[in-house]
A and B are shown apart, each in its own frame.
Chain A
Amino acid sequence: MGYQPHSLHIQGEDLAPAIELVGITKRFPGVLANDNVNLTVEEGEIHAVCGENGAGKSTLMKILYGMQPADQGTMNLFGELRSFQSPNEAIEAGIGMVHQHFMLANQLTVLENVILGAEPTQMGGLIDFDSASEHLEEVGTAYGLTVDPFDLVESLTVGERQRVEIIKVLFRGAKILIFDEPTAVLVPQEVEELFRNMRELKANGATIIFIDHKLEEVLEIADTITVLRQGKTVATVKPSDVSATDLAELMVGSELPKPQITNVKFNETIGIKMDNVTVLDEDERPIVDDVSLEIRQGEILGIAGVEGNGQHELVGAILGTQRMSTGSIVMMGEDISNTSVRSRRENGLGYIPQDRQEEGLLLTAPLWENAALGHQTVKPFSGGWNHWFIDRDGSRSQTERIRSEFDVRTPNVEVSAHALSGGNQQKLIVGREVVSEPSVLVASHPTRGIDVGAQASVWEQIRQARSQGLATLLISADLDELIGLSDRIVVMFRGRIVAQLDPSEITPRSLGAYMTGATNQEDSE
Chain B
Amino acid sequence: MILKQIRRLPTWARWASFATLGILVLTLVQELGQNETNHLTAMTTSQTALKWSIPILLAGLGGLFAERAGIINIGLEGMMILGTWFGAWGAFNYGPYSGILIGIIGGAIGGLIHAIATVGFGVDHIISGVAINILGPFAARFLSSEIFTGYQGGSVTQSPRVESVDKFTMPFLAGGYDTPNFLKWLGDKDIPILSDTGNIFRGVLTQTSWATIIALLLVPLSAWLLWRTRFGLRVRISGEDPWAGESQGVNIYRYKFIAVMISGGLAGFGGAFITIEMSSIYQEGGTTGRGFIGLAALIFGNWRPGGILAAALLFGYPYALQFGDFDGFASHALLLVNAIALFGVTIWAIRKSKHADAVIAFVLATLSAVWYFIADTVPDWWVKILPYVIVIVVLIFFAQRLRMPAANGQIYRRGQT
Contacts and interface: CB of A to CB of B under 8 A. Distances in A.
Interface in B1-34: 1, 4
Contacts of B415: 67-68
Interface in B54-95: none
B1 A104 contact: no
Contacts of A168: 248
Contact of B417 (A101, A121, A125, A127): A101
B344 interface: no
B194 interface: no
B57 to A, nearest CB: 24
Contacts of B417: 67, 101
A121 B231 CA distance: 10
B243 A150 contact: no
B236 A108 contact: yes
B233 A116 contact: yes
A518 interface: no
A358 B245 CA distance: 22
B229 interface: yes
A104 B241 contact: yes
Contacts of A97: 247
A87 B246 CA distance: 8
Contacts, number: 81
Contact of A107 (B229, B246, B248, B405): B405
Interface residues of A, number: 32
A133 interface: yes
Given A119-B230, A150-B4, A103 B241 contact: yes
Contacts of A118: 248-249
A168 B415 CA distance: 20
B228 A117 contact: no
B406 A107 contact: yes
A106 B405 CA distance: 10
A130 B417 CA distance: 32
A99 interface: yes
A170 B319 CA distance: 55
B234 interface: yes
A116 B250 CA distance: 8
Interface in A476-506: none
A105 B249 contact: no
B244 A105 contact: yes
B240 interface: yes
Contact-residue size bin, chain B (C-beta under 8 Å from the other chain): 20 to 34
A103 B240 CA distance: 11
Nearest to B405: A107
Given A68-B415, A101-B417, A105-B406, A121 B241 contact: no
Interface in B186-233: 228-231, 233
Interface in B375-417: 403, 405-406, 415, 417
Nearest to B246: A87
A103 B243 contact: yes
B73 to A, nearest CB: 20
B245 A116 contact: yes
Interface string A111-133: 01101111101001111011001
B237 interface: yes
Contacts of A112: 233, 236
Given A87-B249, A101-B417, A117-B250, A126 B240 contact: no
Contacts of B4: 150
Contacts of B233: 108, 112, 115-116, 119, 127
26 contacts: A67-B415, A68-B415, A86-B249, A103-B241, A103-B244, A103-B248, A104-B241, A105-B241, A105-B406, A106-B240, A107-B403, A107-B405, A108-B233, A108-B236, A112-B236, A115-B233, A116-B245, A117-B234, A117-B250, A119-B230, A121-B229, A121-B230, A124-B229, A125-B229, A125-B231, A126-B230
Interface of A: 67-68, 86-88, 91, 97, 99, 101, 103-108, 112-113, 115-119, 121, 124-127, 129-130, 133, 150, 168
Interface of B: 1, 4, 228-231, 233-234, 236-237, 240-241, 243-251, 403, 405-406, 415, 417
